[in-house]
Structure 1
């Protein structure tokens, strides 16, 4: 089984406001958010870290409602909020929320789950201008090369191409998400040893998947 990862990226958010909003969400869904020293290997570990462009929330591996929480945070905090996901190590994707509505979304393999057609397929193309309008100081051309479909060459070629020369990861790699987040000023809150370098919390929340 490949990597599964879910995060929210709150553009221009503060740690205190994000923590308060997450606690409210958890309590409204029969759960809690408790300050506790944890590792990402432990159940319920939620990590929060601050970057130059906002706050990143890394959810526990068994939490499935990252889209719902990202939507909630965008309404509660009146901020643009990314919902980031790596699925089974095969791809990375995002939805961008503003005032509770999706204003942009991207998936490099839009037919991954089922074949899509027309407007639905095009809706996953990603819009660098829409993103740049909501991330202060960002130009569309700084991220546009990430927002491309992964064709067979990108997925199967031993010579992987990178979107930008300074990137660590190439097309076809799930971790390209971290390069993309870096351009947004959002931190990935786990170091190369797998240890969290932000604030850790015990996050308990009834998931829609199990309710």
Structure 2
């Protein structure tokens, strides 16, 4: 099984505002958010870090509400919010919300879940550097447009989108994109938090006790919800 990762990237809002908004969301869906020192082995571990006025939330492994909570935070704080996702180590993608509305979205393999989707739907997942620049003004379109390309799974490429990037055309290219958005990535090379951790739970993500043996909590296979088209 490949890597699954869900992240919210909040533009222009510092940690305290984002914490307040995420707490509101969690309570609205029958859960909560509490500060607690945790490792990523913990079922409910969420990591939050703010740098230069932008804030990143890394959600627990089994959290499936990343788009919904990103939408909520965007509307609540009236700010641009990226909902990022790495799916099974195969791709990275985003949905960009502004005041709770989708203004842009990108998936390098738009027919990943369904090979029969329409051309219009494929086009809807192209992503737009120009739209991003409209809402994230410090990012120049020419500095991110090379990330927003469709991938050919039959061709392996060792090329990086930009000089200075760390990753080639793969799932972890997301980190290079996040750097352009000035969003921190609060996990270290051992996959442990290097920022403040919180216990996050909702009605869908139950609250569980810490794993006493410190063993890795298995990551569930994240399947496409029937009501969403990724």
- TM bucket normalised to smaller: over 0.9
- Preserved CA contact (<8 Å) 1:128 1:140: yes
Q: Distance in 1 between matches of 2:24 and 2:11?
A: 19
- Preserved CA contact (<8 Å) 1:67 1:83: yes
Q: Distance in 2 between matches of 1:53 and 1:8?
A: 14
Is structure 2 residue 132 aligned with structure 1 residue 117? no
Unaligned runs of 5+ in 1: none
Aligned to 1:185: 182
Q: Distance in 2 between matches of 1:185 and 1:86?
A: 19
- Preserved CA contact (<8 Å) 2:14 2:53: no
**Displaced runs of 4 or more, over 6 A:** none
The normalised TM-score by structure 1 is: 0.93
Q: Distance in 1 between matches of 2:140 and 2:104?
A: 16
Aligned to 1:76: 76
- What SS does structure 2 have at the residue aligned with 1:47? strand
The normalised TM-score by structure 2 is: 0.86
Aligned to 1:35: 35
Question: Mean alpha-carbon deviation: is it higher for 50-59 or for 2-11?
Answer: 50-59
Q: Distance in 1 between matches of 2:86 and 2:2?
A: 9
Aligned to 2:163: 165
Unaligned runs of 5+ in 2: 206-224, 226-230
Q: Residues 1-211 of structure 1: matches in 2 within 5 Å? A: 1-52=1-52, 54-115=54-115, 116-152=117-153, 156-157=155-156, 159-171=157-169, 173-207=170-204
Alignment coverage as a number of residue pairs: 205
